[in-house]
Every structure is written in structure tokens, then in C-alpha cells.
Chain A
Amino acid sequence: MSETRRSFLKQSVATVAAASVAGCAPGASRDSSDRPESAAGAGSAGASAMPLPGETLRAVAEAVLPAELGDRGRERAVAAFERWSDGLEPVAELAHPYLVPETRYSGPDPRPGWVAQLEGLEKECASRHGVSLSAIDMPVRRELLARPLGQAGPGMGSPANASHVAAALMSHFFASPVATDLCYRRGIGKQQCRGLDGAAAEPAALGDAP
């Protein structure tokens, strides 16, 4: 490792850690179990956190995220989404598009709507089935989710613009480096600062990644 790389790592890790972000620090662990944080992390920009009902969110995640993540992987994906949601700042100034002289802003806060959607799912589930969302079978759970997702897609879009929290959760996960690596079953490490050395090599199969 060169001195410059070492000093960058030191500076970057310190900066990123201070902001509760693991995303772009090349010193962040390459253990795949840490990667969901990388996908999400952006820390707090001063927005007030608005906790999403955790149990219901996890019941939704079980229905909409890949089963191959396993319980641990799914929990990391949900936790990453929660951190991302906590750090979301409504009506934030967006990156300027090329050669556009106007300033653009993100939309209003989607989280009150997401909270209401999760609470509504629980209420509907209790009314229809007499149990919580996490207690019903997957086909029934998906049937409940399919209706509000009726307008979603076909593309993933930005999670902040998702009309339903289930779509936001899916968008957030499938945009992550973890999802890309899973799809290709290779350690691509999308958008993670990785140095130039490994660029020329075919990405290692996930099981072989160092």
C-alpha cells in the first residue's frame, strides 16, 4: 500500500466514520456482511429521524427482498434502509444536471406516508386476518402488498420517490453494491473506493473474494 493510499485511507475513514458512513472508505471491511451499510450510509444531514415501525418493516422485507439473503442479510438490508431513512433530508438541493441553470430540489418528506402505510398494513392485516403482518403466510402478505404497489415500476427509481415503502425498500436494496454482487455472484464492489490495482481482473467469485 502506498503512503498516499494509506494517508487517504486514514483521512477518509476518519471523515466517513465521523459521519456514520462506511460507503466510500476503502478501508471499510470487505466482509460481505458489512456491505449493506456501504450501500446506504450517508449519515445525518440534520434531518430529524422519523422511525419506521420496525416489526412491520421487517415483515414487509421478508416478502419483498430475496430469500437468498437469509435472515442476517435481510436484517442488514433493513437496518441499512432504516439508517438511510433516518438520514433523509426532504427538499434538499440536488446535484446540478449538466448545463441546466436552475437549482433542483428533492421532494417533500415521504416518511410520514411510509409510517402511515406500515401502520395501515398492520391494521388491515388485523382486520382481515386477526394477526399481525409478520404472522401471516407469504402469499397472503404479498397479496396485501400487491394492491398498494399497483402503480409502481417497471423501473426501480429512487427510493425517496417511491410511492410505497415496500417499493422504497426494494429500490434501496437493489441499488446497493451488495445486490449487484449477489446478482453477478462476483465481488464487483460498485462505487466503493477500491484502488486501481484490481481493475483489470475479472471480479472474483463471491465465495473466493478475499
Chain B
Amino acid sequence: MSRVVESDVCIIGAGITAAMVAERLAERTSASVTVVEAGGRTASLEERSRTRARMLAYGENPYPNDHIADQTGTGEMYRQMVVGGSGMHWGGAIPRYSPEDFRLRSLYGVGFDWPISFDDLEPYYQEAEERIGAAGEQGPPDCDPRSKPYPMPPLPLSYNLARMREWTDGAGIPFWTQPWARNTRPYRGRNVCQRCDTCAVCPTGAKYTPDFAFDQLLADGRIDLVTRTLVRRLALEPGTDRIAVAQAVDRDSPDEPVEFRAGTFVLAGGHAWSSHLLLLSASNRFPDGLANRAGNVGHYMTGHWYVSGFIDLPMRLYPGIFANNSLLSHRFASPGPLDRYLRHDLRLWESDVGRAPRLRDDDGSLLWGDGIMADWRERTDSGATARIRAYYDVIPDRESRLTLDGAMKNAMGDPMPRIDFRSAQATIDLERHTHDTIQGRFEQLARAAGGSMKSTRSSRLFEHPGGGCRMGDDPATSVVDRWGRTHDHENLFVVGAPTIVSSGCANGTLTFCALSLMSAEEIAKGLATRG
């Protein structure tokens, strides 16, 4: 006998995109909303000072019980499965994608155009920034278009970043302050940033985490949040293509199945678990999984790669003033016409790399207390280090895939996801050009300060991943439409990261949130307006 939970809307997953959808539906409609989360709750705000201290002292996870032991996969994916999702641990960087990201094929003849433009998404970017609480600085309008100011002024430039900005201004490359989901004034009941410099766990509540939104919605009686309950399959209404039920298991009562029945279902499981659930939901009628008539679920997994380095600077800086703020440039994300395709951002941080205390000197001799301090001072007196990184656009490939891994199953026998990322050949062909051009720009910056490159490295980690249920107007080449509605099931939406067409060259969370709000607007059309 199953326990049945009924609502107008069932949101599966309780991360940041679920928070966006739930909040918007709660404000604009009178619909009943149930949010189902496989994980439980983790450290409350009141507990985060203590867990932060232990993270600093011992490297411990500041969010106890934030994952499920046997619910994991292979490939680049987050470990967290908890109320708030990976939005608990994030640093809070919230740049927008650039207008060019949505028109790569039209502008540059590479990759794919999205079915929506930057202008279509811009109001939702703004809304996401207001819900999250964005603190930012307007960059040059041609590189940083926006219709309204940020809700909050930017985080102040530290002494270090101010000196670095004088340097980059002299280099002729415009940099401005990275926008952050951190309060520079009291905002929506949350505190002001106290510059604790451990943003992965913010002890003040200045950084937005989705649990704040859920707690408020629960306090207002606007949603039901069902935790520790793992949705294993979606099932159809007999004789139709509509989703009728999400079949789940209560992890505290595994012998008692739970059925979530709703008029609309929203998958908000991030880049890994949304496609995974669709593939797990295979049936006789849909042997390849739901929303997968054209065979696109799990395909076009995407992310961006980076080149990073450290620059020796002939200036006196003091690492530790504010390591979790940074300078940003989107100058090369909006490059104008190109002979060879390359778009990237630039980020700069203070750093102590090469200037940290050490036990042995350059000759390998062991140092003692005074010797360590003298060696350390010599290296900090002689200059400073800046960390620089460029995320660059990777062209998605259809065979970049999430699949079900029969060799890795959870305790219930469900196969876990396996992600094998790959880029299109175009990115491989351009990789040398990309690396050399970016390194040249690093060196240009270094020279402008009278400094030099200390080191450079390239990474093929697919950062800020998405895809697997990409959006498009053509059901033959996409999984969802521009609103996140699956082509195959009118009452099933996928929101956020899985729906992106490409991942640009900027952190993705704000875009995932904006897309989710766009989906929420469409979902709300079928629901009663809040009176």
C-alpha cells in the first residue's frame, strides 16, 4: 500500500532552481506545491560558525549529512544531495552569460543557437538577481548588458584588488568586480557579508543558499517539503502521455512506497539527476525512457574548460584581506568578428602561491622557525602573486553523454548515472590556438605590470556542467522547448542546468536560475492566479 501525496505541482529536487520555481509559483499562483528531496537537511545557519571552524581547522565537510552514500555516479558531478543542493556549498559567483552565447552558430558558425536570445532571458536574469540578492558592479555596457542596476552595490574592492585593478586598467583590458550572491546590505532578512573568506560555508547568512527560500516558504505555509524521499520513477496516466505519478521511497521507511500525484511535474535535479530519472523511467511504451522519443535525453552534456596561471607582480600586496572577491572581464566573451573562434572570460584573485611559508628553501635545506619566517618575508617583500583564470567556451558534442551504469547500482538496484563528457572536434582543433591566445593575454597583462608569468596550465574539467535535456524548437534535436516543457509530455518540465544548449564562458548558476524562472512563468499559466 502506497502513501499518496497530492498537489498541483510536484517539484523533484530541492536545489537552487527548485527554490526559484517554488518561490515564483507560491507568489503568483494559488497552486499547491510539493517539493520532494532525496536528501535531508544539513547544518542550519546557527550551526555554520561551528562547522566553518572545523572546516578551517581540519578540512571537514561543513555540511554534515549532505549526501546519500549509495546515490552517486561516475564522472563530473556533485556529491551533494540535500535540501539546498550544491547551492549550499557554492561560492556565490553569479555572472550572466553573454548575448553571443545564445547565437554561436549565427555569429561564428560553430556550435548551436539557442531557441531563445539573451534579450528573452534578460528579465529573468534580473528577477533571479533580485531573488538571490546580487551585489555587482555594472561593467562596460558592450560587455555587460543589463536593463536595470544590480539590487545591491558591489562588494568593495579590497586593497589588493584595487591595486590589481590599477594594473589591469593600465593594461587596457577592462576588469570590474565579479557579481556575487552575497549581501552588501541587509537583504530579504539576511545579514551583510562579514568578509569571513570561507564562502563555501558562510556563517553569517550573507551568501544566498536555497534553504533560506525553502524555510520562508514553509513558514508561510506555501509549500510542502518532503525530505529523505527518493523519486525512483515517473509513470504515465494510462492511455496518455501525461505524467501521473512520481514513485518514490521514503528512506526512513523503505518498505512503504510513496506516490506523488500532481497536475504538473518539474524535474529540478541538476545536470546529473534529471536525465537520470528520465532514463530510469523507461516503460513498455517508452523503452528508452521518458521525454526521449528522439533519443536526446542524456546527450549534449556540456561545460567549459579553462586555462589558468599565476603572475608574479612587482607590488606589495597582502593575501588574506579578501581572497573570496575577484575581478572579472567579459571583454573576450564578446569579441566581435573572429577569424578563429575563441571566447573566454578572465578572472583575477589575490594569491599567496609561491609566497607561502615552507619547510625547505630552494636548496632543499630544512628551515627552522626564524629561518622559515625570514624566507617567507623575503619572498613576500619581493613582490606579490595574482591568480588568473580564463573559462573558455567548449562546443558541445552529441556523444557527450549521461547513461545508466549497470555496473553501479544503489541499494534498491537502480543503476546510477555515468557521465562521459566530451567536446566537439571543433574545440579540440582549436585547443592549441585557444591556449596560446589566452596565454598571450596573460603575458600581456603580466608585462603591463612589469611582472611575469610564474606558471600556466590547461584544464579539461567540464566546469559548471549542464545539458542532457537541452532546449530547442525542434523535437528531433532537443528534449524540452524554450520553456523547459518536454516535447513528449505536456505536464513534465525540466528546469535549469540540464536544459542549456551550451555553457558559455561564465559560471552557470545565475543562468540556470533565470531559465527556471522562465519555466515557472509558463508553468503558472496553467494554474490559478493567486488572489
Instruction: List the B side residues contacting A18 at CB < 8 Å.
Output: 50
* Selected contact of A95 from candidates B61, B159, B191, B364, CB within 8 Å: B61
Asked if A190 and B197 make an inter-chain contact with CB atoms under 8 angstroms apart, the answer reads yes
Assess the A188–B321 pair: CB atoms within 8 A.
yes
A26-B49 contact in complex given A153-B358, A200-B158, A203-B159, C-beta closer than 8 Å: no
The verdict on B4 contacting chain A, using a C-beta distance below 8 Å, is: no
Whether A66 lies near B373 (C-beta < 8 A) is: yes
Give the interface centre of A68, A88, A100 by most chain B CB atoms within 10 Å: A100
Task: Tell me the minimal C-beta distance from A180 to chain B in angstroms.
Answer: 5
B197 to chain A: closest residue by CB: A191
Whether B359 pairs with A191 at a CB distance below 8 angstroms is no
| Residues of B with C-beta under 8 A to A66 | 369-370, 372-373
Q: Are B192 and A196 in contact (CB under 8 A)?
A: yes
Q: A103 near B: Cβ within 8 Å?
A: yes
Cβ of A43: which chain B residues have Cβ within 8 Å of it? 50, 53-54
* B225 in contact (CB, < 8 A): no
- In angstroms, how far is the closest chain A Cβ from the Cβ of B233? 22
Report how far A5 CA is from B184 CA in the complex, Å: 12
C-alpha spacing A92/B54, complex, angstroms? 11
Known contacts A177-B320, A199-B321; A170/B369 CB under 8 A? yes
Give every chain A residue within 8 A of B73 (Cβ-Cβ).
Answer: 101
Alpha-carbon separation in the docked complex, A101 to B72 (Å): 6
- B158 close to A190 (CB less than 8 A): no
Q: Nearest Cβ distance between residue A174 and chain B, in whole angstroms?
A: 4
8 Å CB contact of B157 from A167, A199, A202: A199
Indicate if B64 sits at the interface (CB-CB under 8 A): yes
Q: Quick one: closest A residue to B64, CB to CB? A: A93
- State how many residues of chain A have any CB contact under 8 Å with chain B: 79
A106 in contact with B358 given A41-B53, A177-B320 (CB within 8 Å):
no
Closest Cβ of chain A to B224, distance in Å, is 28
Cβ of B204 under 8 Å from chain A: yes
- Scan residues 243-299 of chain B and give those whose CB is less than 8 A from a CB of chain A: none
Q: Which residues does chain A contribute within 8 Å of B370, judged by CB atoms?
A: 66-68
**A118 proximal to B (CB < 8 A):** no
Partner of A4, one of B155, B186, B325, B372: B186
When distances are taken between beta carbons in the complex, the residues of chain A under 8 Å from B325 are: 199
- B192 near A199 (CB under 8 angstroms)? no
Q: Given A96-B79, A196-B192, decide whether A184 and B53 contact each other with a Cβ distance below 8 A.
A: no
**CB-CB contacts of B138-182 with A at 8 A, as 1s and 0s?**
000000000000000001111100100000000000000000000
Kindly state whether residue B318 has any CB partner on chain A within 8 Å: yes
Cα distance, A15 to B74, chains bound together (Å):
38
Judging by beta carbons under 8 Å apart, are A23 and B191 in contact?
no
Residue A155 lies at the interface, judged by CB distance under 8 Å to chain B? yes
Query: What is the bound-complex CA distance between A5 and B190, given in angstroms?
Result: 11
Q: Is the CB of B357 within 8 A of A174?
A: yes
A200 engages B461 (CB within 8 Å): no
- Asked if A121 CB lies within 8 Å of chain B CBs, one says no
A95 close to B359 (CB less than 8 A): no
Looking at chain B's contact residues, the main secondary structure is loop
Question: How far, in whole Å, are A42 and B196 apart by their CA atoms in the complex?
Answer: 15
Tell me which of A40, A89, A155, A199 contacts B156 (CB under 8 A). Answer: A199
CA distance A180 to B322 in the complex (A): 14
Cβ-neighbour of A99 out of B158, B358, B463 (below 8 A) = B463
Task: Give the docked Cα–Cα distance between A92 and B200 (Å).
Answer: 18
B366 at the interface (CB under 8 A from A): yes
B380 within 8 A of A: yes
Q: Is the CB of A156 within 8 A of B356?
A: yes
Q: Restricting to B49-93, which residues have a CB under 8 Å from any CB of A?
A: 49-50, 52-62, 64, 66-67, 69, 72-80, 89
* B320 partner, pick from A24, A94, A180, A201, beta carbons under 8 A: A180
Instruction: Output the nearest chain B residue to A175 by Cβ-Cβ distance.
Output: B357
Number of interface residues, chain B, beta carbon within 8 A: 74
Q: Which residue of B lies closest to A202 (CB)?
A: B159
Beyond A4-B192, A191-B198, whether A42 also contacts B366 by CB under 8 A is no
Question: Is B16 among interface residues, defined by CB-CB distance under 8 A?
Answer: no
Q: Among B69, B321, B356, B359, which residue has its beta carbon within 8 angstroms of that of A153?
A: B359
Which residues of B (208-244) have their CB < 8 Å from a CB of A? none
Interface flag for A19 (CB, 8 Å):
yes
Decide if B133 is an interface residue (CB 8 Å cutoff).
no
Q: Which of A67, A69, A193 contacts B203 (CB 8 A)?
A: A193
For A160, give the chain B residue with the smallest CB separation.
B58
8 Å CB contact of A200 from B157, B192, B203? B157
Residues of B within 8 A of A100 (CB): 79
A167 to B366, CA, bound (A): 11
Q: Which chain B residue lies CB-closest to A94?
A: B59
Nearest CB of A to B161, in Å: 9
User: Which B residues touch A175, using CB under 8 A?
Assistant: 357
A58-105 contacts to B, CB under 8 A, are 63-69, 84, 87-89, 92-96, 98-103
Closest to B359 in A: A153
Interface positions, chain B 294-327, Cβ under 8 Å from A, are 318-322, 325
Interchain CA distance A193-B197 in the complex, whole Å: 8
A residues in contact with B72, CB < 8 Å: 101-102
Cα of A34 to Cα of B89 in the assembled complex, Å: 30
Within the complex, the shortest CB–CB distance from A24 to chain B, in Å, comes to: 5
A117 to B265, CA, bound (A): 61
A21-B53, A146-B366 known; A42 and B372 CB under 8 Å?
Answer: no
| Complex interface: chain A residues within 8 A of B53 (CB) | 16, 19, 21, 23-24, 41-43
Using known A-B contacts A41-B53, A95-B55, determine if residue A182 contacts B74 with beta carbons closer than 8 Å. Answer: no
B498 within 8 A of A: no
Q: Are B60 and A89 in contact (CB under 8 A)?
A: yes
Contact B54 A106, beta carbon cutoff 8 Å: no
A121 to B325, CA, bound (A): 45
Q: How far is B357's CA from A64's CA once the two chains are assembled, in angstroms?
A: 13
3 smallest beta-carbon distances between A and B, as pairs:
A190-B320, A153-B359, A42-B57
Sampled A-B contacts (23; CB under 8 Å): A2-B186, A7-B191, A8-B205, A16-B49, A24-B198, A25-B49, A45-B54, A64-B368, A95-B89, A99-B76, A99-B461, A101-B73, A101-B78, A102-B79, A177-B320, A183-B377, A188-B320, A194-B195, A195-B195, A196-B195, A199-B155, A199-B159, A199-B195
Chain B residues within CB distance 8 Å of chain A: 46-47, 49-50, 52-62, 64, 66-67, 69, 72-80, 89, 155-159, 162, 184, 186, 191-198, 200, 203-205, 318-322, 325, 356-360, 364, 366, 368-370, 372-373, 376-377, 380, 461-463, 465
List 4 additional A-B contacts (Cβ < 8 Å) besides A103-B69, A192-B196. Answer: A15-B49, A24-B198, A103-B67, A194-B196
